[in-house]
Amino acid sequence: MSSTPAVPKILIVGGGYAGFYTAWKLEKHLRKGEAEVTMVDPLPYMTYQPFLPEVAAGEIEARHIVVGHRRHLKRTKVVTAKVTGIDHANKTATITPEEGAPWEIEYDQIVVTAGAVSRTFPIPGIADNAIGLKTIEEAVAIRDRLLGNFDKAANLPPGPERDRLLTVVVVGGGFAGIEVFAELRAFASSLLRVYPQLSFEDTHFHLIEAMGRIMPEVSLKTSEWVLKDLAKRGANVHLDTQVTGAVDGVIELSTGESLPSDLIIWTAGVMANPTVVRGGDLPVEERGRIATRADLRVGTVDEVVEGAWAAGDVSAVPDLTGKGVGGYCVPNAQHAVRQAKLLAKNLTAVLRGELPQEYIHHNLGAVAGLGLYNGVFQSGNIALKGLIAWFAHRGYHGMAMPSWERKWRVVGDWWHNFWLGRDNVSLATVQNPRYVFEEFAARPRPAAPVEPQQPAIDPKSVVGEDAPVAGAKAEKEPAKAPVAG
């Protein structure tokens, strides 16, 4: 009697750019019943991170920049939980859900695409007072904090407290830092129209960069144009400066300056997801990323770890163009998406006994939005600035947003904002959605305090169950109907 061969099980760890695209493409390449794909991510969606600065600046509705896993992955089993351990020697992974006990899952092929997290340094106060910009929750919180601070500041007389509320500090002059800094500056300027109590001079924007320049992805000349443009818009960039403290929300700089601020955004670098990297037995290179080959299998040039693949920010994939930093692909979406597409092809090929191909991608350039109608684009020696670069930014990212369903929503937001202006209300109260209900909700009356009772008769003379009990009267009294309000 012949038994049917087991269907290979593919486990994808992380459903961001690289994980989502790997699953999406595997659905296209794999024949029915050829393999079983499971994708595990603690979030039920993939986040289109290049749009986070525009969400923070109220230009795109937050929900529209995330792509729901279950809606778009029809043949993949989606598990909303964390992978907290990988035992590749035994081909099992530990899945830890938010509720309930962890469990083990067996696999034949694992794809590690768990991305990166904000990399910070042990500077006093940063962990407690700053916020990163890697998730949709952070972008929304930044938008709401800025709006909430405008509301508070509008009620205050000029002075240090009002200055603190209207001071924004961004740490890190890479792409993400500059984009959010420029977008928030433009957002704050647009808000002044609806806050007549506040003037442009009341708002303070500072970007702190440890290096002598910003945006290493563009040429020095282009980066200097960005610096001048920011200066014209009243935004201060502190080059060659380090943050030495952020205790109680006061940013201390290596230059000796202090900047009290209620909104400190940390964008000074990322590191490969430590939970997944350290929680497993896959080889890790010196910068803490999964050692990955050019064919996207885990391992080195000389040694392949069979059944293990990696892509995106969590991995160190050799850049065969020879232009990568330290010889590796830089952590960006351009690579994550393309690696994922090839990974899906390669994995399918290997399952069919064919050979995988090597990943090679020539950088297309970099494009950044710097607020409405302003941007910068660089590809080789070609640089575009201002309005035309802003169109390039919107055009590129509008098209790159996965699925037509999401593209429409984002483009719809842009269209509506063009005619109606940006949405400028804070929804910070969603963090405490029950506050009104709770304030007015009727509650059972607290039990009456127990009063010591004077025995009517000498207790010594009483025997048995009829002895008076302290508090009995209160308990027997019928409860009064609650009064609304």
Please report, as ranges, the residues that interact with ligand FAD according to CB under 6 A. 13-19, 40-43, 46, 49-50, 52-53, 82-83, 113-115, 133-134, 175-176, 273, 275-276, 312-314, 331-334, 336
Give the angle 189-190-194 at the CA atoms, nearest 5°: 110
Contact 422, 55 (CB under 8 A): no
With CA atoms as reference, report the closest residue to 219 among 81, 378, 41, 39. Answer: 378
Output the smallest distance, CB 440 to ligand FAD, in A.
38
Residue whose beta carbon is closest to ligand FAD? 16
Give the angle 281-295-17 at the CA atoms, nearest 5°: 75
DSSP string, 386-442: THHHHHHHHHHHHHHSSSHHHHHHHHHHHHHHHHH-------GGGGSTTHHHHHH--
Nearer to ligand FAD, 153 or 230 (CB): 230
CA distance 150 to 162: 9
Contact 35, 10 (CB under 8 A): yes
Nearer to ligand FAD, 37 or 153 (CB): 37
Output the smallest distance, CB 114 to ligand FAD, in A.
4
Segment (H or E) for 167: strand 167-171
Residues whose CB falls within 8 Å of the CB of residue 332, separated by 6 or more in sequence, listed in order: none
Contact 93, 81 (CB under 8 A): no
Contact 34, 28 (CB under 8 A): no
CA torsion through residues 160, 164, 166, 167, sign: positive
Residue written as tokens 């409405």?
Answer: 372
Side chain identity at residue 484, one-letter code: A
Nearer to ligand FAD, 58 or 312 (CB): 312
Nearer to ligand FAD, 69 or 164 (CB): 69
Nearer to ligand FAD, 197 or 219 (CB): 219
Nearer to ligand FAD, 45 or 202 (CB): 45
Output the smallest distance, CB 66 to ligand FAD, in A.
10
Output the smallest distance, CB 93 to ligand FAD, in A.
9
Output the smallest distance, CB 233 to ligand FAD, in A.
20
Nearer to ligand FAD, 13 or 227 (CB): 13
Nearer to ligand FAD, 45 or 165 (CB): 45
Output the smallest distance, CB 81 to ligand FAD, in A.
8
Output the smallest distance, CB 15 to ligand FAD, in A.
5
Nearer to ligand FAD, 30 or 170 (CB): 170
Going by the DSSP 8-state scheme, the letter that residue 314 receives in this structure is G
Euclidean distance between the first and final Cα of the chain, in Å?
77
Nearer to ligand FAD, 40 or 370 (CB): 40
Residues whose CB falls within 8 Å of the CB of residue 31, separated by 6 or more in sequence, listed in order: none
Q: Residues for the chain: how many in total?
A: 485
Nearer to ligand FAD, 144 or 313 (CB): 313
Question: Alpha carbon of 39 to those of 45, 67, 70, 75, 355: distances in Å?
Answer: 11, 14, 10, 11, 24
CA distance 223 to 226: 5
Contact 127, 117 (CB under 8 A): no
Output the smallest distance, CB 471 to ligand FAD, in A.
54
Contact 198, 189 (CB under 8 A): no
Residue 425 is encoded by which pair of tokens? 């209300």
CA distance 367 to 389: 7
